[in-house]
Amino acid sequence: MTVPPHDYNGRVAFVTGAASGIGRATALAFARAGAQVALADLSAEGLAETARLIAADGAHQALTLTCDVTNEHDVQAAVGKTVEDFGRIDAVFNNAGIEQPVGPATGITKSDWDRIIGVSLTGAFLCMKAQIPHMVRQGGGAIVNVSSGAGVKGFKGQAAYAAAKHGVIGLTKSAALDYATDNVRINAVCPGIIETEMIRRFGDTRPGGHEGLIADEPIGRLGKPEEVASAVLWLCSDGGAFTTGTALVVDGGQTT
Ligand code: NAD
């Protein structure tokens, strides 16, 4: 599936969690739209594959940045290198995240809690802390943070994940107000159940398995990573110029 056309020529995009799933599809979509793209992830191998796919498309050569979004030094270095190599940072997708093993709230270990909140929520915070000053200096930019259907409603067995993803929306909305007059737009996207490695792992452990996941989607199928990428590219585009502080649900009706 391809993402509908946008023009990102002359712009620089930065994507975390770019080694897999939704992040890879969004990085590819930015590159196909003409952006120079910086790819950040823990997985050097996965990044190399995303960069290969971008090169195979004949797009600008991507910058690969091995980076743990929970580590402030890594994040500052990745964003700094992007601006050093490409001169600016216009469109950002802070997307890295990890799933929670299904289980009741009191069964969550402190270390799992810290990891899940650390990657999804603290990671988005650290990324924005590094990205926004460059955007303010250059006169603007657009950030999309990844939340989830679990950012707008509770899910049984998902207390830590839902807490992280609700937190991403609070962070997004508040920061959007802080930087609205700097022409820095900050939004969130809330995917439903999207066919990625994460969902394949999650479906293996969840009661009802993959059939149960499809049954949770009123539209009768799982979403595709490109369908989330499409929303991210629109939010970061000039077409989204009056949209800031929103949490856009892309979920086949799952949370309706
Ligand atoms: P995925 O597992 O396919 O990809 C996630 C990527 O994040 C991986 O490449 C992984 O290496 C990277 N990552 C994990 N921890 C990291 C860290 N500390 N630093 C840097 N990179 C790290 O997952 P996906 O399904 O593509 O999910 C992407 C995002 O979308 C996640 O935040 C997820 O919570 C969210 N989301 C996914 C779904 C879904 O159904 N797939 C639904 C709602 C929200």
Per-residue pLDDT tens digits for 153-173:
999 999 999 999 999 999 999
Q: What is the pLDDT averaged over residues 28-43? A: 97
Residue 146 alpha carbon to ligand 1 centre in Å: 9
The phi, psi pair for 91, rounded to 5°, reads -130, 125
Q: 16 C-alpha vs ligand 1 centroid, how far in Å?
A: 9
E strands, 156-235, are 184-191
- pLDDT tens for 82-120 read 999 999 999 999 999 999 999 999 999 999 999 999 999
Closest-CA residue to 118 (of 92, 142, 100): 100
Q: Is the pLDDT of residue 7 over 90?
A: yes
Where does ligand 1 bind, in terms of residues with CB under 6 Å?
A: 16-17, 19-23, 41-43, 46, 67-70, 95-98, 119-120, 146, 148, 191, 193-194, 196-199
pLDDT at 21: 98
Mutate to test the pocket of ligand 1, among 98, 152, 171, 228 (most ligand atoms within 8 A of CB): 98
Residue 243 CB burial class (10 angstroms; 0-12, 13-18, ≥19): middle
Residue 60 CA to its chain's centroid (Å): 21
If you search the block for the tokens 């970061």, which residue do you land on? 236
Examine the pLDDT at 203 and tell me if it is beyond 90.
no
Q: What is the pLDDT of residues 222-231, one digit of tens each?
A: 999 999 999 9
Q: What is the pLDDT of residues 174-197, one digit of tens each?
A: 999 999 999 999 999 999 999 999
Mean pLDDT of the chain: 96
Ligand 1 atom closest to Cα of 161?
A: 34
Q: How confident is the model at residue 24 (pLDDT cuts 50, 70, 90)?
A: very high
Question: 102: buried, middle or exposed (CB in 10 Å: 19+, 13-18, 0-12)?
Answer: middle
Measured by CA distance, the residue closest to atom 41 of ligand 1 is 194
Ligand 1 atom 3: residue of nearest CA: 21
Three-state secondary-structure class, residue 182: helix
**Average of pLDDT values for 237-244?**
97
Residue 207 scores a pLDDT above 90? no
Q: Give the model's pLDDT for residue 61.
A: 86
Q: What is the pTM of this model?
A: 0.98
CB-CB contact of 41 with 197 (8 Å): no
Q: Tell me how far the alpha carbon of residue 181 lies from the centroid of ligand 1, in angstroms.
A: 31
User: Looking at residue 210, what is its pLDDT?
Assistant: 82
Q: Which one, of 172, 150, 49, lies nearest residue 99 by Cα? A: 150
Atom 4 in ligand 1: which residue has the minimum CA distance?
Answer: 20
Q: What residue's CA is closest to ligand 1, atom 32?
A: 97
> Contact, 97 vs 42, CB < 8 A?
no
41: CA distance to ligand 1 center in Å? 10
Q: What is the CA(206)–ligand 1 centre distance, in A?
A: 18
Average pLDDT over residues 65-91: 98
Q: What is the residue with the minimal CA distance to atom 39 of ligand 1?
A: 194
